[in-house]
Amino acid sequence: MAHSARSTFIVLIVLPLALALVGQESVGQSSQVVTARAGLVEAFRAVQMLDFQGVSGSETGVLVEELNMALSNLKMANETGSDSYASLSVEISSQVSTRSQIAKEAAERQTLLTRLTAYSFALLMGLVSSMIIVDVDLWKRSFQRRKIASVGVD
């Protein structure tokens, strides 16, 4: 539980602050670093949306750790000017975005399945209730006829 809270803290607070610091564009920054930053921001938003959609902390925690690796590589790319760190950051961010999309679709399917189950159950209970009401009325009439018939016999 503490790991999930820490991961959420990192996603919601630390990562935007770190991106703001890393995002200070300097003259002569390579296009690969700019691409890495954009990919990291996109992946961050995708993971953040998962968190808002209620995806479990264990699933988002793994993605947050990968975002931290991408952020670390982006910082190294900024510090060293190395495109290889930037490329690695782009690759990790892309993987996180893809896995976030898969998790989002799974969460949406689960939500749809839950709603469908709830609506089906409600419909079934309505049908059963209707049948009980109709049958109770028929049973009352049947008992009244028997009562009248038994009174008439006496």
* Conformation bin of residue 54: beta by default, left when phi > 0, alpha when psi is -120 to 50: left
E strands, the chain, in order: none
Structure tokens at 111: 């939500």
Give 30 or 79, the one with higher predicted confidence.
79
The helix-helix angle for 57-80 and 15-22 (nearest 10°) equals: 20
Digit-coded pLDDT (tens) for 10-51: 555 555 655 554 555 544 567 888 899 999 999 999 998 887
Contact at 8 Å (CB) between 92 and 37? no
Nearest alpha-carbon partner for 70 in 51, 87, 50, 48: 87
The residues near 76 (Cβ < 8 Å, ≥ 6 apart) are: 82, 85
Residue holding tokens 């009248």? 148
| DSSP 8-state secondary structure symbol assigned to residue 25 | -
Digit-coded pLDDT (tens) for 89-109: 999 999 999 999 999 999 899
> With pLDDT > 90 as the criterion, what percentage of the chain qualifies?
43
pTM of the model: 0.64
Residue holding tokens 């089906």? 120
The domain segmentation of the chain, as residue ranges, is 2-112
Give the Cα separation of 55 and 58 in Å (integer): 8
